[in-house]
Chains A and B, each alone.
Chain A
């Protein structure tokens, strides 16, 4: 798929709008998204500005009558956005690769033409950055995955995938915080707690935090 030079802006019905940045899936672009999100969250009639992976969703308190002003503000805001460098915490997450929860370990390895051991070591090598939260309470999208272990999302999403699943979807990876439907491929699991509504900030991790996976065990 070709990447356009200008941002793409599209509607999500009357309740939200999606801004997709041009360019690579990398930290410099994501830092500009964080910056644009901080700006846009202060605009009138915007309920929340929610970063995704090099994109930004704005939800409306009240849907704007006409969209041109908002679209222009987003384009200008993107052009003006300096990267916002967030100095986050570093988290170490012990992972059991494979097993019942990580049952796609072999099929992802096969798809990528790698041995299970190589897949695991490639997955556990980088220091990942939390790019965004989304999907379900406390879930973190991580940036920094090696493109050699990319695998397209499922043809048909699963109705239920286990909580704590470490999964790959496209060129992204992440850890589910609770059981639920998923279109990704689970290669392992962790038992860490990512979310508690009684915490002052309900999600344990925030954009800018970093995560290192530690190989606890590999079940073949």
Chain B
């Protein structure tokens, strides 16, 4: 078990998401940075869909009540346990009674704590992810609070320390800078309702991520994007990554807790292989969009899968070498 000692902001239990309940109005939820959650689970030899804790703000402290293997992935954080510093993208072993403190997050926006065997909250409608709007899943369908006790699935294995290269290093985009995240998008249904000058404005602008950005959506600020004529659409399904343009002309990227349908015009959709980059983009930071073709978006997903395959292989090799000693 894990006891939450202190928490800042809406930390929550998330797995990869709830993907087949749209017809009941239930969105995906799930880790905002699914690559980081997978990597943590790979490091621990877990099922990649095992639930972890998504931690968006520091400081965060918790206590392990027994010996537990854990990993920290996602945002670059300053963390320590029993006086030892834990590097990012690293797995380690906690002893019973150890307190893990995550003090600061110099890079990125969300850190993932995964544990051997996974956080063992009940599966609701096929997933352990917290559904905030529906108030189910995760721990009682709500953000974590001090005093919460999280059950961990049994894992008796003691494993050695091991780190992997962070996704933002391996999968870095050439033109990206420290304060600007570039994400690839495929154009969406209403793209042609905007004129050429507006298209150019959309592509070249560096969009500011406003403080009203969260797991529901990233609300951006920049020049006003207006269609040739006002658009009022019939409600239709949308998915995380869809970029809507409300009549105020300021884009909103739908994220993991987004509504499952909407009617604002959609100019583009962030590709799945880059959605985690949005999840790691910080409030106050900048975002820029890069147009990509559907086939290239699939190629980007394959590249992401190849990165995860390499992690799996490397972790397995390390275990085999250790077993031989």
Contacts and interface: CB of A to CB of B under 8 A. Distances in A.
B247 interface: yes
Contacts, number: 189
- Name A's interface SS: loop
Contacts of A138: 24-25, 134
A156 B251 CA distance: 10
Contact of A137 (B133, B230, B242): B133
Interface stretch (B94-102, B168-176, B259-267, B282-290): B259-267
A28 interface: no
A156 B247 CA distance: 7
A202 B185 CA distance: 34
Nearest to A20: B236
Interface residues of B, number: 60
Interface residues of A, number: 57
A177 B137 CA distance: 17
B235 A172 contact: yes
Given A135-B259, A139-B25, A155-B248, A180 B133 contact: yes
Contacts of B236: 18, 20, 52-53, 55, 57
B229 interface: yes
B239 interface: yes
Nearest to A195: B134
Given A50-B23, A133-B24, A153-B264, A141 B235 contact: yes
A132 B235 contact: yes
A69 interface: no
Interface string A140-181: 010000000000111111010000000001111000011111
A55 B247 contact: no
A172 B234 contact: yes
Given A8-B189, A153-B263, A197-B125, A50 B234 contact: no
A152 B20 contact: no
10 contacts: A12-B238, A12-B266, A15-B272, A50-B237, A132-B235, A136-B134, A136-B260, A155-B246, A155-B248, A195-B25
Interface of B: 19-27, 124-125, 131, 133-137, 185-189, 212, 216-217, 229-242, 246-248, 250, 252, 259-264, 266, 269-273, 294, 297-298, 301
Interface of A: 1, 8, 10-16, 18, 20, 25, 47-48, 50-57, 59, 63, 65, 67, 132-139, 141, 152-157, 159, 169-172, 177-181, 183, 195, 197, 201-203
